[in-house]
Structure 1
Amino acid sequence: MYLQFRDEVEAAVASALESLDLPTDDLGIEDPPEGVDAVLASSAAFRLAGEVGAAPPEVAGQIADEIDAGEYDLLAAALAQGPYVNFLPSEAYYEATVESAQSPEFGRLEPTGESVVVEHTSANPTGPVHVGRARNPIVGDAVARVLDFAGNEVERHYYVNDAGRQMAVFTWAYETFDEDDLPDPERDKPDYDLVRYYRKGNEVLEEGDPDEVEDAEAEIQAIMQGLEEGDEETYDRVQEVVDTVLGGMRETLSRLPAEFDEFVKETRFLRDGSADDVVERLKALDQAVYEEEAWQLELDEFDIENNFVFLRSDGTTLYTTRDIAHHEWKFENFDRAITVIGEDHQLTFEQLRRTLELLGHDTDRLDQLFYSWVNLPGGEGMSTRAGTGIDLDDLLDEAIDRAREEVETRMDDRIRDDDLTDDDVERIARQVGIGAVRYDIVAKQPTKAITFEWDRALDFEAQSAPYVQYVHARCCGILEEAGIDPSEASASLGEFDASLLETDAERELVEVVARFPAVIEEAAADLEPHVVATYTREFAETFNAFYRECPVLADDVDDDLREARLALVAASKHAVGNALGVLGVAAPRSM
């Protein structure tokens, strides 16, 4: 209803401005000022004061006088207050919101017909996923979920770097060293098993006997050349390593969860000839030069000092060259391409964008979402090559352990039901622990570096994942106590009269529920899933106020009001549950 209400407000302001013979290019629709009892406001009076020749409050009064709220279904009043025109919703707004939010799919927007590919994570398959890179799959998966909920056809892709030097080093090391040369693996997982070879190989290349290093480098170069030439035997050798390590990484990512529709290997673009085609077209550009034994593009016309190197003197392409072919493939198959990637790649992606423009592509279809790093207290470094840092598996295990301990100590009825079984405790520990990690990371603006802190993430009382998750569990508990299956609440509720929801606490909760589709719209438009997290915190506070002030199942609540409040609880469950789902955070039925 919020989106429809906004449409009515926009129509009302535009009509009023036309009546006053004033421009309608900027209606100034926004949230009302702090403390104002309204759903939306217009600040157009600020912009128009000079044109009208009157102070903003006077202009706001003129605009409000021109609006007849009776012409609209959801608008009750347009009131001037200072320089703003504030818009109050009608009774129909509240009633229709509660009714529409009975749908389990509440908040999902109408199909846009647009296909979107979201590429994220894409960590090199050289070993276990590290905490320092954990922001990529968490933010990337949340972006994909937001876009899907906003009505887009979304595919999630992982771009696998299986053609670069790192994989050649890995393949050489895997074929060279014996198990006896290596330490025991840290976990019984394929990525932990094979990363030992990679670390051993780098150790030898950096510190080994010069003759041994010379022989190794010759073999590494031969592997890279074999991939470039499409040699099947070389490809199979490399893929044995790539697929094994990637399998272990996928197990870890599935715990978040971060699932993928396709793992796109960069060797695809070597094997099908598209990388070679890119090279020939780049060579033909006026900006192409051969300098320092490499083919490069000069991009100074775009104020980029660093040239874009696309072909080595030995005839091998670079990752960036193959990524041009990759993006051309994206443009052929999707309406829009989004890449979630670390902030240290900003220059590379600007070079990519400008190169695609020189090749004649519309780069308005291309978006990048850059993120900063996740640090742990103490600033531990993250290096697969050196074998230092904290693995994501370790972080998730620790999260579950800490959540389990927290749940087990909260034995009072408010937090934990005494009938919970050990399996229930384990389920809740996983949902809360992993949810805490994911929520704490996705709740921050991606461009801001963050330090992950356990006390904040797992605080049941503060604005964290457990705080919001418990609101969903509380909604489910109320419905269950009323004999309603929370998973089928919309079908199990009796008739209700939403007009009975008259208190401030009830109305405020309905207003927050109503805003959820608009939050999805905003998050999708700006690629900012953190605004959904902000919404869930506001939602939790508003629901808790309702819970304190408006008993649902108390003996002194009459039947009609009871049914109306149960309907509001069901609506709340759908809104907060779907918001958590968009963030990739579990919505527990009990805690």
Structure 2
Amino acid sequence: MSDVVTKATGQLRAAIEDAAKKAIAASTLPQGELAPFTIEVPADRSHGDFAANAAMVSARTLRTAPRKIAEAIGEHLDLTGTYFDRAEIAGPGFLNFFLNPGYYADIVKDVLDKGDQYGRSDYGKGERVVVEFVSANPTGPMHIGNARGGALGDGIASVLDAAGYQVWREFYVNDAGNQIEKFALSLEARYLQHFQGEDAVPFPEDGYHGADITERAREFAEAFGDRYVNADTDERKKALVDYVLPRNIEALRRDLSRYRIDYDEWFRESVLHNDGELKDTMELMKQKGLTYEKDGALWYKATEHGGEKDEVLIRQNGNPTYFAADIAYHRNKLEKRGFDRAVNVWGADHHGHVARLKGALDAIGLDGSKLDIVLMQLVRLFQNGEPVKVSKRTGKSITLATLLDEIPLDAARFFFNLRESTSQLDFDLGLAVEQSSQNPVYYVQYAHARICSILKNLKEEGVTPRACTREELIALQAPEERELIRHLSAYTGEIIEAAKAYDPARITRYAIDLATLFHKFYNACHVKGENEPLMQARLNLCMAVRGVLHNVLALLKITAPESM
């Protein structure tokens, strides 16, 4: 919450507690104490700006009907020196409070004083959180689901950071295990086919059939010629992977950087294999009696720890499974590197993996509740009401890179955070490029540009904004002004709620509502042509809105244009 909202809440709590004590001392209420109560902003502000359930929750502790408790508190309530000028009792005992004009003035001043820091808080108390997202296999380009996962994961990291957490962004590179063996076999087949023809070299049935594999094998052939055609298969596969994998990883890094996502670390799965961490984790599980051997493989007793079936950790051929590496990786996060919390953004198809991984962390002595998984539903692309699967420009399936060739980057970042992760997202490619109020990111950016234009035009007429006194800001009493200022006051709380729920969609919705309320205010309240103090107060309000719009867009890594 903003400092002003926090102060108002504190004043209200103190006033209610003091009134209850006075009522008890006067025998208006029986001896006892108020139960812990909440103060909140009601959805319908016509019933009050703040509401408290103190009377409702204290019926048992004070052995009195809630309505009588509320009336007794109201009788002894002193709101002198607070942001509130009156209180009302509603229904069975709700306490509703109404703000005075000083609150609205102080919110505007608070926004302007804090500037680009407005919205930030210390709610997270510096807790260290690692957010792992995208983590696409480096065996090919990123698909459209990764585009959503990137915007969502980066948005989660941003709201956590603004809410006072110490955030670490991480990409987990699956550069070991079965998928790399399959990758090597696929590259090998395409390389040999390059020289010997497709009929002469069978392609692995479960290999990677994408055109990118053929292209990478061709690049390798151009670089090394037929040097590896007659080489030992292991030597050939190693040479192919050593050449192609770094290029694929660099392509992922380049595409994500273009998407305005930069990671603190690209953590390689191979590190877990090479430095003994994975082996050490398997030994720990054996020591704790969590494993058994069957058919030449090492199994984890998952059914004893919340899993639906036991899981293979080490295959018959001695290779660890993805699950084994995942346990070691999360042990590395929580134990070795000491993060207080790990947040992973996964596709909804990984739903079944959540409980077994948390259970395994509990089983090895780590707290599985420190791992939070955000499951993300699918994306469907549409244009003119029709599903789209390939790029009009290239005719190829739409990847992150081709998407960013076809729509503005700002639109991609905003659209992918329009819905909570649990909702399937229908992405309208036509709307994303439309320059109209129907396009939500354009609508929000236009509000920012409109304010810049207002200030620029007035400057050309010799009007320069100045700081207003509290008394001047108190003049902002029109319903549209108050509604707009109340929304500004909610921004810090929205960030905290978005961080708690791992839901940056709250911020895009907040931005759209803020733009709507600004346009409503602008149409109802003249800035130019009013008396000088009121004009300046409204200019201060315009600048406060501009500042918060800028902060919201910066949080989402979206540009805030000054003209459109």
TM bracket, shorter-chain basis: 0.7 to 0.9
2:536 to 543, 563, 583: 563
- SS of the equivalent of 1:242 reads helix
Match of 2:320 in 1: 317
- SS of the equivalent of 1:376 reads strand
Aligned pairs for 1:421-570 within 5 A = 433-454=408-429, 457=432, 458=434, 460-462=436-438, 464-483=440-459, 493-496=466-469, 497-552=472-527, 554=528, 556-570=529-543
The change in CA–CA distance for 1:197 and 1:61 in structure 2 (over 3 A counts) is: farther
Q: Where do 5+ consecutive residues of structure 2 fail to align?
A: 199-209, 219-229
Match of 1:101 in 2: 111
Match of 1:337 in 2: 342
> Residue type of the partner of 1:79?
E
The change in CA–CA distance for 1:481 and 1:380 in structure 2 (over 3 A counts) is: closer
Deviation at 1:168, TM superposition (A): 2.3
Match of 2:296 in 1: 293
In the alignment, is the contact (CA less than 8 A) between 1:353 and 1:363 conserved in 2? yes
The 4+ residue runs of structure 1 with deviation greater than 6 A are 50-55, 220-223
Deviation at 1:572, TM superposition (A): 0.6
Deviation at 1:148, TM superposition (A): 0.9
Deviation at 1:471, TM superposition (A): 1.1
The change in CA–CA distance for 1:60 and 1:582 in structure 2 (over 3 A counts) is: farther
Q: Distance in 1 between matches of 2:516 and 2:79?
A: 31
Q: Distance in 1 between matches of 2:75 and 2:436?
A: 48
In the alignment, is the contact (CA less than 8 A) between 1:287 and 1:297 conserved in 2? yes
Q: State the identity %.
A: 31
Deviation at 1:324, TM superposition (A): 1.8
Deviation at 1:46, TM superposition (A): 4.2
Q: Distance in 2 between matches of 1:121 and 1:17?
A: 53
> Residue type of the partner of 1:479?
L
In the alignment, is the contact (CA less than 8 A) between 2:362 and 2:368 conserved in 1? yes
In the alignment, is the contact (CA less than 8 A) between 2:269 and 2:325 conserved in 1? yes
- SS of the equivalent of 1:500 reads coil
The change in CA–CA distance for 1:509 and 1:159 in structure 2 (over 3 A counts) is: same
Do residues 277 (structure 1) and 280 (structure 2) align? yes
Deviation at 1:35, TM superposition (A): 4.7
The change in CA–CA distance for 1:544 and 1:65 in structure 2 (over 3 A counts) is: farther
Do residues 370 (structure 1) and 380 (structure 2) align? no
- SS of the equivalent of 1:551 reads coil
- SS of the equivalent of 2:308 reads coil
Deviation at 1:180, TM superposition (A): 4.7
1:115 to 99, 108, 128: 128
1:69 to 66, 70, 79: 79
Q: Distance in 2 between matches of 1:23 and 1:240?
A: 72
> Residue type of the partner of 1:136?
G
Deviation at 1:253, TM superposition (A): 1.9
For structure 1, which segment, 328-337 or 157-166, has the greater mean C-alpha deviation from structure 2 after superposition?
Answer: 328-337
In the alignment, is the contact (CA less than 8 A) between 1:120 and 1:340 conserved in 2? yes
The change in CA–CA distance for 1:525 and 1:298 in structure 2 (over 3 A counts) is: same
Aligned pairs for 1:131-142 within 5 A = 131-142=144-155
> Residue type of the partner of 1:195?
I
The change in CA–CA distance for 1:52 and 1:580 in structure 2 (over 3 A counts) is: same
**Cα deviations across residues 155-193 of structure 1 (Å, max 9, x unaligned)?**
11000000022222323443553495799xxxxxxxx98
1:150 to 145, 158, 163: 163
Q: Distance in 2 between matches of 1:164 and 1:289?
A: 22
- SS of the equivalent of 1:162 reads coil
In the alignment, is the contact (CA less than 8 A) between 2:84 and 2:98 conserved in 1? yes
In the alignment, is the contact (CA less than 8 A) between 1:170 and 1:198 conserved in 2? no
In the alignment, is the contact (CA less than 8 A) between 2:465 and 2:539 conserved in 1? no
In the alignment, is the contact (CA less than 8 A) between 1:117 and 1:336 conserved in 2? yes
In the alignment, is the contact (CA less than 8 A) between 1:373 and 1:450 conserved in 2? yes
Q: Distance in 2 between matches of 1:75 and 1:352?
A: 50
For structure 1, which segment, 278-287 or 138-147, has the greater mean C-alpha deviation from structure 2 after superposition?
Answer: 278-287
Deviation at 1:120, TM superposition (A): 0.5
Deviation at 1:436, TM superposition (A): 2.4
Deviation at 1:542, TM superposition (A): 1.2
- SS of the equivalent of 1:104 reads helix
Do residues 78 (structure 1) and 87 (structure 2) align? yes
Aligned pairs for 1:247-266 within 5 A = 247-266=250-269
- SS of the equivalent of 1:483 reads helix
> Residue type of the partner of 1:108?
R
In the alignment, is the contact (CA less than 8 A) between 2:51 and 2:95 conserved in 1? yes
Q: Distance in 2 between matches of 1:15 and 1:531?
A: 36
The change in CA–CA distance for 1:482 and 1:590 in structure 2 (over 3 A counts) is: same
The change in CA–CA distance for 1:134 and 1:271 in structure 2 (over 3 A counts) is: same
- SS of the equivalent of 2:46 reads coil
Aligned pairs for 1:351-430 within 5 A = 351-377=356-382, 389-399=397-407
TM-score (norm 2): 0.82
> Residue type of the partner of 2:512?
R
The change in CA–CA distance for 1:60 and 1:36 in structure 2 (over 3 A counts) is: farther
**Cα deviations across residues 8-56 of structure 1 (Å, max 9, x unaligned)?**
3344444555655566454143332425253321244444557767765
The change in CA–CA distance for 1:160 and 1:571 in structure 2 (over 3 A counts) is: same
Do residues 42 (structure 1) and 45 (structure 2) align? no
RMSD (Å) for aligned C-alpha atoms: 3.3
Do residues 196 (structure 1) and 214 (structure 2) align? yes
> Residue type of the partner of 2:89?
A
The change in CA–CA distance for 1:395 and 1:483 in structure 2 (over 3 A counts) is: same
1:268 to 262, 266, 271: 271
In the alignment, is the contact (CA less than 8 A) between 1:168 and 1:220 conserved in 2? no
For structure 1, which segment, 88-97 or 43-52, has the greater mean C-alpha deviation from structure 2 after superposition?
Answer: 43-52
In the alignment, is the contact (CA less than 8 A) between 2:465 and 2:540 conserved in 1? no
Deviation at 1:241, TM superposition (A): 2.3
Match of 1:586 in 2: 559
TM-score (norm 1): 0.78
- SS of the equivalent of 1:368 reads strand
The change in CA–CA distance for 1:494 and 1:7 in structure 2 (over 3 A counts) is: closer
- SS of the equivalent of 1:124 reads coil
Q: Distance in 2 between matches of 1:51 and 1:513?
A: 37
Match of 1:403 in 2: none
The change in CA–CA distance for 1:388 and 1:84 in structure 2 (over 3 A counts) is: farther
**Cα deviations across residues 113-144 of structure 1 (Å, max 9, x unaligned)?**
22211110101012221113322111000000
Q: Distance in 1 between matches of 2:474 and 2:146?
A: 50
Match of 1:572 in 2: 545
Q: Distance in 2 between matches of 1:341 and 1:255?
A: 22
